Structure 1
């Protein structure tokens, strides 16, 4: 088996589940499946109190599994839950503001980089990573071709790591890895059937072990 840090690694995006206890059970089960670099926790339609409850339920179990817990767009919730970092879904200015305010104490990365010039603007803030795609952008079996193209361009010339949103099919993780991206994000591919979440994580890791390019090779 390849050391995970020598090839593309898996990032999970938590599903839209309203009950804090249920989401904790689902994510904990998925994390039993194998290597996960980090877990991104979106708000979805939750109010402040509910989102805080979700974060406090999820962060400890994510960290116990050896992954980083990243809260989307809310530094107060992230701080109270003792998350490892924050995912910024806004523009380059929002990302730069978050980087200045919260690094190096917290991991800060960002998404919404739809074009090359936007990605470069975000990169100027020196975030911990750039995210290509939308957190809920897994609407087809395959990863979006535009995100794959952006990742290939980025990975070839920029040292800041990138995360690319995968599709609903487990095999899309390999297509992302082939761009040279350091991380592939999966949501519905893992969580559409909660009873198979652990198995899905195991299958993705096995595919990446077998087929993902090796960094530094």
Structure 2
């Protein structure tokens, strides 16, 4: 077992960009700098063809570094790009249908857990993980207090792993890890870091090594 398997790990969310070549290079730098469990690629405003091109750039890079590559929303793009899975946000009924179609062949995780009742409904569908926060929710340095509270509540009572959205500063991983969440997601904290993505990932992992609770302690 890797040391990182016993504490909160990083999830990277790709920000919107028109320069996918540059983003692919940034991702390569980030993943080469330390442990990352998962990379999530959202569609944002891209049309289907642009999204497919982006996925075909990003998925192999993530997988080459041992990170799971997830596509947010589009199962066709996920299949064509040979991604590891889907990040789903939608109705409970559509989530159940997506899980029935794609698991266990693909990872299917679920967002949209805005409060406890909705989180429990999502949990009953048995996704591979639940995501607390919004993909574009890193608008402040720290994670949103509501997401931290939900993650702490969830991690204390449910076995399905959770991801909590971090803030736009790397140090936000500490507050996220202290909830007991298995994963913390970063976006702008990595891709807009003043010293570059590699420095952000190295710093985030160092903070988690030092301060994150150990699950088996």
TM value normalised by structure 2: 0.97
Q: Describe how 1:1-12 pairs up with structure 2 within 5 A.
A: 3-12=3-12
Alignment check: 8 A CA contact 2:90 2:112 kept: yes
Question: How far has the Cα of 1:122 moved from its partner?
Answer: 0.4
**Distance 1:125-1:168 versus aligned 2 partners, 3 A rule:** same
Q: Describe how 1:20-35 pairs up with structure 2 within 5 A.
A: 20-35=20-35
Are 1:216 and 2:216 matched, yes or no?
yes
The aligned counterpart of 1:13 is: 13
The aligned counterpart of 1:146 is: 146
Q: Describe how 1:51-200 pairs up with structure 2 within 5 A.
A: 51-193=51-193, 196-200=196-200
CA distance in 2, matches of 1:194, 1:37: 23
CA distance in 1, matches of 2:135, 2:163: 11
Secondary structure class of the residue paired with 2:10: strand
CA distance in 1, matches of 2:74, 2:206: 34
Q: How many aligned residue pairs are there?
A: 216
Alignment check: 8 A CA contact 1:26 1:194 kept: no
Alignment check: 8 A CA contact 1:13 1:186 kept: yes
CA distance in 2, matches of 1:81, 1:23: 17
**Distance 1:39-1:27 versus aligned 2 partners, 3 A rule:** same
CA distance in 2, matches of 1:197, 1:90: 31
**Distance 1:107-1:194 versus aligned 2 partners, 3 A rule:** farther
Question: How far has the Cα of 1:195 moved from its partner?
Answer: 5.5
TM value normalised by structure 1: 0.97
Alignment check: 8 A CA contact 1:86 1:107 kept: yes
**Distance 1:194-1:74 versus aligned 2 partners, 3 A rule:** farther
Question: How far has the Cα of 1:94 moved from its partner?
Answer: 2.3
